[in-house]
Amino acid sequence: MSGLTHFDGKGDAHMVDVSDKAVTSRVATAEGWVKMARETFDIITEGRAKKGDVLGVARLAGIMGAKQCSNLIPLCHPLPITKVAVELTPDETLPGIRIEATVKTTGQTGVEMEALTAVNVAALTVYDMSKAVDKAMEIGGIRVILKDGGKSGRYEAK
Protein backbone atom coordinates (compact mmCIF):
# COMPACT_ATOMS: atom_id res chain seq x y z
CA MET A 1 0.00 0.00 0.00
CA SER A 2 1.41 3.32 -1.02
CA GLY A 3 -0.30 5.54 1.53
CA LEU A 4 -0.73 8.28 -1.07
CA THR A 5 -4.45 8.98 -0.83
CA HIS A 6 -4.53 11.06 -4.03
CA PHE A 7 -4.32 7.90 -6.17
CA ASP A 8 -6.97 5.25 -6.64
CA GLY A 9 -6.40 1.51 -6.82
CA LYS A 10 -5.12 1.75 -10.36
CA GLY A 11 -2.62 4.49 -9.56
CA ASP A 12 -4.70 7.22 -11.22
CA ALA A 13 -4.81 10.64 -9.58
CA HIS A 14 -8.19 11.72 -8.18
CA MET A 15 -9.61 14.23 -5.71
CA VAL A 16 -10.06 12.34 -2.44
CA ASP A 17 -13.68 11.82 -1.38
CA VAL A 18 -14.26 13.84 1.78
CA SER A 19 -18.07 13.62 1.62
CA ASP A 20 -18.29 11.60 4.80
CA LYS A 21 -15.83 13.60 6.85
CA ALA A 22 -17.31 15.77 9.57
CA VAL A 23 -17.72 19.51 9.11
CA THR A 24 -15.42 20.77 11.85
CA SER A 25 -13.47 23.86 12.69
CA ARG A 26 -9.99 23.55 11.21
CA VAL A 27 -6.86 25.66 11.38
CA ALA A 28 -3.38 25.52 9.88
CA THR A 29 -0.26 27.66 10.15
CA ALA A 30 2.65 27.62 7.72
CA GLU A 31 5.90 29.56 7.63
CA GLY A 32 8.76 30.45 5.29
CA TRP A 33 11.29 33.17 4.55
CA VAL A 34 12.90 35.25 1.83
CA LYS A 35 16.67 35.67 2.29
CA MET A 36 18.30 38.70 0.65
CA ALA A 37 21.37 40.91 0.57
CA ARG A 38 21.83 43.20 3.55
CA GLU A 39 21.39 46.22 1.31
CA THR A 40 18.07 44.91 -0.02
CA PHE A 41 16.93 44.23 3.51
CA ASP A 42 17.73 47.81 4.48
CA ILE A 43 15.82 49.22 1.52
CA ILE A 44 12.72 47.15 2.27
CA THR A 45 12.60 47.72 6.00
CA GLU A 46 13.41 51.38 5.77
CA GLY A 47 10.96 51.65 2.89
CA ARG A 48 8.20 50.35 5.05
CA ALA A 49 8.09 53.58 6.93
CA LYS A 50 8.88 55.97 4.13
CA LYS A 51 9.19 54.90 0.55
CA GLY A 52 6.80 52.06 -0.24
CA ASP A 53 5.33 49.21 1.71
CA VAL A 54 6.73 45.94 0.26
CA LEU A 55 5.51 43.98 3.25
CA GLY A 56 1.98 45.41 3.06
CA VAL A 57 1.66 44.46 -0.60
CA ALA A 58 3.06 40.97 0.04
CA ARG A 59 0.71 40.43 2.98
CA LEU A 60 -2.29 41.21 0.80
CA ALA A 61 -1.01 39.00 -2.02
CA GLY A 62 -0.64 36.14 0.46
CA ILE A 63 -4.21 36.58 1.70
CA MET A 64 -5.59 36.64 -1.84
CA GLY A 65 -3.34 33.71 -2.79
CA ALA A 66 -4.86 31.54 -0.07
CA LYS A 67 -8.23 31.99 -1.78
CA GLN A 68 -6.76 30.69 -5.08
CA CYS A 69 -5.33 27.53 -3.52
CA SER A 70 -7.87 25.07 -4.92
CA ASN A 71 -7.48 26.61 -8.39
CA LEU A 72 -3.72 26.10 -8.30
CA ILE A 73 -3.24 22.73 -6.59
CA PRO A 74 -4.91 20.13 -8.83
CA LEU A 75 -6.38 17.81 -6.20
CA CYS A 76 -7.20 20.38 -3.50
CA HIS A 77 -10.82 20.77 -2.41
CA PRO A 78 -12.48 24.18 -2.63
CA LEU A 79 -13.21 25.33 0.92
CA PRO A 80 -15.16 28.20 2.52
CA ILE A 81 -12.17 29.91 4.16
CA THR A 82 -13.24 31.78 7.30
CA LYS A 83 -9.99 33.54 8.16
CA VAL A 84 -6.60 34.35 6.67
CA ALA A 85 -3.84 36.23 8.44
CA VAL A 86 -0.37 36.67 7.01
CA GLU A 87 2.48 38.19 8.99
CA LEU A 88 5.75 39.40 7.49
CA THR A 89 8.52 40.15 9.96
CA PRO A 90 11.93 41.53 9.05
CA ASP A 91 14.70 39.38 10.54
CA GLU A 92 18.10 41.03 10.55
CA THR A 93 19.90 37.78 11.20
CA LEU A 94 18.83 36.20 7.89
CA PRO A 95 18.87 38.94 6.63
CA GLY A 96 15.42 38.82 5.15
CA ILE A 97 11.71 38.55 5.78
CA ARG A 98 10.02 35.81 7.80
CA ILE A 99 6.46 34.94 6.73
CA GLU A 100 3.77 33.17 8.75
CA ALA A 101 0.25 32.47 7.53
CA THR A 102 -2.73 31.14 9.45
CA VAL A 103 -5.90 29.95 7.72
CA LYS A 104 -9.17 28.72 9.23
CA THR A 105 -12.21 27.00 7.80
CA THR A 106 -15.35 25.28 8.93
CA GLY A 107 -15.28 22.40 6.50
CA GLN A 108 -14.65 18.80 5.66
CA THR A 109 -10.92 18.91 5.08
CA GLY A 110 -7.83 20.73 6.32
CA VAL A 111 -6.36 24.07 5.28
CA GLU A 112 -2.60 23.45 5.39
CA MET A 113 -2.39 23.85 1.60
CA GLU A 114 -4.13 27.23 1.85
CA ALA A 115 -1.66 28.35 4.53
CA LEU A 116 1.31 27.13 2.47
CA THR A 117 -0.05 28.88 -0.63
CA ALA A 118 -0.40 32.13 1.31
CA VAL A 119 3.25 31.90 2.41
CA ASN A 120 4.45 31.08 -1.11
CA VAL A 121 2.55 33.88 -2.82
CA ALA A 122 3.65 36.39 -0.18
CA ALA A 123 7.27 35.26 -0.66
CA LEU A 124 7.01 35.52 -4.45
CA THR A 125 5.61 39.04 -4.06
CA VAL A 126 8.52 40.12 -1.85
CA TYR A 127 10.82 38.77 -4.57
CA ASP A 128 8.90 40.54 -7.33
CA MET A 129 8.96 43.89 -5.62
CA SER A 130 12.63 43.74 -4.73
CA LYS A 131 14.11 42.07 -7.80
CA ALA A 132 15.09 45.37 -9.38
CA VAL A 133 17.81 45.65 -6.74
CA ASP A 134 18.54 41.99 -5.95
CA LYS A 135 18.04 39.00 -8.25
CA ALA A 136 19.85 36.56 -5.96
CA MET A 137 17.22 36.40 -3.22
CA GLU A 138 16.26 32.90 -2.07
CA ILE A 139 12.91 31.60 -0.82
CA GLY A 140 12.99 28.73 1.65
CA GLY A 141 12.05 27.24 4.99
CA ILE A 142 8.48 26.69 3.84
CA ARG A 143 6.69 24.17 6.02
CA VAL A 144 3.54 23.53 8.03
CA ILE A 145 4.04 24.33 11.70
CA LEU A 146 0.51 23.70 13.00
CA LYS A 147 -2.55 21.83 11.83
CA ASP A 148 -5.58 21.19 13.99
CA GLY A 149 -9.20 20.10 13.71
CA GLY A 150 -10.45 17.03 11.91
CA LYS A 151 -9.98 13.34 12.58
CA SER A 152 -6.21 13.17 12.23
CA GLY A 153 -5.77 15.41 15.24
CA ARG A 154 -3.25 18.09 16.09
CA TYR A 155 0.08 18.28 14.29
CA GLU A 156 2.84 20.54 15.47
CA ALA A 157 6.22 20.79 13.75
CA LYS A 158 9.20 20.00 15.92
Catalytic positions: 128
**Smallest Cα–Cα separation from 109: which of 2, 31, 16, 30?**
16
Closest contact distance (angstroms) between CB of 2 and a second copy is 4
Nearer to a second copy, 46 or 92 (CB): 46
Closest contact distance (angstroms) between CB of 97 and a second copy is 14
Name the binding residues: 75-77, 113-114
Name the binding residues for substrate: 75-77, 113-114
Closest contact distance (angstroms) between CB of 92 and a second copy is 19
CA dist list (Å): 32 to 1, 16, 98, 104: 32, 27, 6, 18
Task: Give the C-alpha separation, 158 to 145, whole Å.
Answer: 8
**Smallest Cα–Cα separation from 124: which of 139, 142, 107?**
139
**Smallest Cα–Cα separation from 18: which of 114, 107, 147?**
107
